[in-house]
Amino acid sequence: MTALMLNYLNNGFLTEAKSIWDTILNSSHTPSVYLITELINVYGRMKHFNEVTEIVQQITSRGFDFSPQIYKVAICCLGKEGQLDLMEKTLREMVSKGFMVDSETWNSYVVYYSCFGSLKEMEAAYCCLKKSRILIEEEAIRAMSFSYLKARKFYRLGEYLKDIGLGRRNVGNLLWNLLLLSYAANFKMKSLQREFLNMIGSGFYPDITTFNIRALAFSKMGLFWDLHLSIDHMKHEGVVPDLVTYGCIIDAYLDRRMGRNLDFCLGKMNTKDSVQVRMDSYVFEVMGMGDFHSTAELFLEFRKWNDWSYEDLVSVYLKKKYRSNQIFWNY
């Protein structure tokens, strides 16, 4: 009966599947968690949310010992589909029955409010998680931070990150990098530098995302000396530049018609390396892609990434710029 029901579900015969489900439920058989999970997820994908809540009621009213697992499945199903009111109701019902809400469920709860709710609702969900004394995990941190970034609420992002605690090491440099990004986005260069020094002073080692956040800000502000120092610092720390780093340098020089001086900076880097992008993608939400990077992406569509070196890309890009702008580059 279970196999037949799953076959009906996977082929869209919901009426027949429901008939078998009712038979199983009213028999002496105990349905498996796997079967109930499949049933809930299919109904969720097909937007039959009332059926999802009905299944939860049917299971919990019979007192099965796996009821907390079914609540968890339903909360995730409703959250993924953006049904925040139903998700909230299901969570409250779970708590009212005395079931413990685990870390994964609380963090998913925050993620779904970050994806589908307002900033106010998201922050309220985060407060609920804090009151539960459960630690916010990386996925929820990223989801909330991305919501702040999309809304360009950089000050609130900074306050949120400090509330989490910048000393946390189980998420690597994520918290520090997001804080640096909140300053770089508004070009608060003194604050950016101060927090970068605080990051190092706290025992964290800058990675490619850290350096690229700073390089993007330096490039857009035309701070060539700081850009050069950052490249030297990368070399000292053993952090290999990626496509974003090269783009920061090339865009800074070409935008200010200083192409003849490119060798001064690129000479410090191994331009024979294969092209890579290793920076965390959330940075693009705020800082965008420079002209070199976006043009390089088009070039790379026609050949495999590992077929290109940075030297190849720079050469092709400069020829393109020369033809379009009739500017002579000494490269």
Phi and psi, residue 297, nearest 5° = -60, -40
Residue 6, phi-psi category: left (phi > 0), alpha (psi -120 to 50), beta (remainder): alpha
C-alpha radius of gyration, the chain, whole number: 26
Check if the beta carbon of residue 245 is closer than 8 Å to that of residue 313. no
Closest CA to 53 of 104, 12, 93: 93
pLDDT at 87 over 50: yes
Using pLDDT thresholds of 50, 70 and 90, give the confidence band for residue 223.
very high
The model's pLDDT over 227-249, given as tens digits with 9 standing for 90+, comes to: 999 999 999 999 999 999 999 99
Query: Which is more confidently placed, 163 or 307?
Result: 163
Backbone phi, psi, residue 6, to 5°: -65, -35
HSE, side-chain direction, 13 A CA sphere, residue 317? 25
Residue 92 lies in a domain: no
Task: Look up residue 21 and give its two tokens.
Answer: 């489900």
pLDDT at 256: 85
- Name the percent of the chain lying above pLDDT 90: 64
At residue 304, the pLDDT reads: 64
Q: For residue 303, tell me if it sits in a domain.
A: yes
Output the pLDDT for position 319. Answer: 82
Whether residue 215 lies inside any domain: the answer is: yes
Phi, psi of 274 (to 5 degrees): -70, 150
Mean pLDDT along residues 100-119? 96
pLDDT of residue 239: 94
Q: 6-15, 58-67, 86-95, 200-209: which range is least confident on average?
A: 6-15
Q: Is 75 within 8 Å of 40 (Cβ atoms)?
A: no
- What rounded mean pLDDT belongs to the chain? 90
Nearest Cα to 37, choosing from 71, 1, 8?
71
| Number of folded domains that form the chain | 1
Write down the H helix ranges in 97-207: 103-116, 119-131, 138-150, 154-164, 174-184, 189-201
How far is the C-alpha of 162 from the C-alpha of 9, rounded, in Å? Answer: 47
pLDDT band for 217, please (50, 70, 90 cuts): very high
pLDDT of the residue at 305: 57
Residue 43 lies in a domain: no
Q: Is residue 27 part of a domain?
A: no
Residues 16 and 28: beta-carbon distance below 8 Å: no
143 touches 161 (CB < 8 A):
no
Closest CA to 310 of 264, 271, 258, 266: 271
> Which pLDDT belongs to residue 30?
85
In a domain, 275, yes or no: yes
- Please report the pLDDT score of residue 327 as a whole number: 45
Query: Residue holding tokens 């300053």?
Result: 183
How far is the C-alpha of 220 from the C-alpha of 289, rounded, in Å?
A: 11
| Residue 330 confidence class, pLDDT cut points 50, 70, 90 | very low
Q: Is residue 97 in some structural domain?
A: no
Tell whether 257 is covered by a domain: yes
- Distant-in-sequence, close-in-space partners of 2: CB < 8 Å, separation ≥ 6: 24, 31, 32, 35
* Confidence (pLDDT) at 67: 92
Nearest alpha-carbon partner for 211 in 188, 185, 232: 232
Alpha-carbon gap, residue 214 to 191, rounded angstroms: 11
Domain extent at residue 215? 206-331
pLDDT digits (tens, 9 = 90+) for 65-81: 899 999 999 999 999 99
The per-residue pLDDT for 325 is: 55
pLDDT-derived band at 170 (thresholds 50, 70, 90) equals very high
User: Using an 8 Å Cβ cutoff, are 248 and 284 in contact?
Assistant: no
* pLDDT tens track for 123-160: 999 999 999 999 999 999 999 999 999 999 999 999 99
**For range 161-172, the mean pLDDT:** 94
- Convert the pLDDT of each residue in 25-61 to its tens digit: 888 788 889 989 988 998 898 899 999 999 999 998 8
What's the predicted TM-score (pTM) here?
Answer: 0.87
Q: Which amino acid is at 306?
A: N
Q: Which of 4, 89, 80 is nearest to 43 (CA)?
A: 80
What whole-number distance in Å separates Cα of residue 38 and Cα of residue 7? 11
The answer to whether residues 76 and 84 touch, using CB atoms and an 8 Å cutoff, is no
Give me the percent of the chain exceeding a pLDDT of 70.
95
pLDDT at 263 over 90: no
CB 60 within 8 A of CB 70: yes
pLDDT of residue 309: 87
**pLDDT 10s digits, 280-306:** 999 998 998 888 988 888 877 776 656
